[in-house]
């Protein structure tokens, strides 16, 4: 249960990272950065969810953080 509550912390972390790196937004907003990373994280988390839940939740946390960081 606590691991699912930890996923909620991914949203404020993504917003904080976007706020900290707002000067570099023109660098990391170009196509090769986040779209490739997001696809890899999503597929890996889906595959590993049945094998190792801890790794899958960690990848999901990173996915949510990166997604919020990109959208902010």
Domain boundaries, the chain: 2-71
Could you read off the pLDDT of 15-59 as tens digits, one per residue? 999 999 988 888 777 777 788 889 999 999 999 999 999 999 999
pLDDT of 61 above 90: yes
pLDDT of 65 above 80: yes
CA nearest to 60, candidates 45, 50, 71, 40:
45
CA nearest to 34, candidates 58, 17, 56:
17
Separation between Cα atoms, residue 46 and residue 13, nearest integer Å: 22
pLDDT at 68: 92
Residue 55 in tokens: 């790794």
Burial 2-29 (b: 16+ CB within 10 A, else e): eeeeeeeebeebbeebbeeeeeeeeeee
Give the pTM: 0.86
């Amino acid at each position: 249960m606590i691991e699912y509550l930890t996923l909620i912390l991914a949203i404020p972390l993504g917003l904080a990272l976007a706020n900290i790196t707002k000067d570099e937004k023109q660098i990391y907003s170009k196509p090769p950065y986040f779209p490739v990373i997001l696809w890899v994280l999503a597929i890996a988390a889906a595959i590993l969810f049945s094998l190792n839940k801890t790794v899958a939740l960690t990848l999901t946390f990173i996915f949510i953080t990166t997604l919020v960081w990109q959208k902010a």
